[in-house]
Amino acid sequence: LGKSHHGSYQYSGDELNLFSTYHKLFKLGSKPAAHIDALAQLSNEELLANMPGSFGRLADAVIAKLAELPE
C-alpha cells in the first residue's frame, strides 16, 4: 500500500483514495501512534462490543489471577 498500487485496475476510485490516506497515516508517521489515535476515537462501549472474544477471556483470566493475590 502507499503510492504504488500494483493492479490498481481492481480498485474503485474511492478505494484508490484510501491508499493515499493509508500512506499518510501509516507510512509517513508512527504506526503505533496512528493505531492509538484510532482506538482513542472509539468509546468504551464500541471497544467492548467489537473486541475479539479472546480479549475478553484474557481479561477474565487476568482478573481471576489478580483476585488470588494477597492484599
Half-sphere exposure of 64 (CA within 13 A, CB side): 6
Domain ranges of the chain: 8-68
Q: What is the pLDDT of residues 1-23, one digit of tens each?
A: 556 657 778 888 888 888 887 77
pTM: 0.43
Please tell me the predicted confidence (pLDDT) of residue 58. 96
Residues written for the chain: 71
Please tell me whether residue 69 adopts helix, strand or coil conformation. coil
Q: Which residue has the cell 475478553?
A: 56
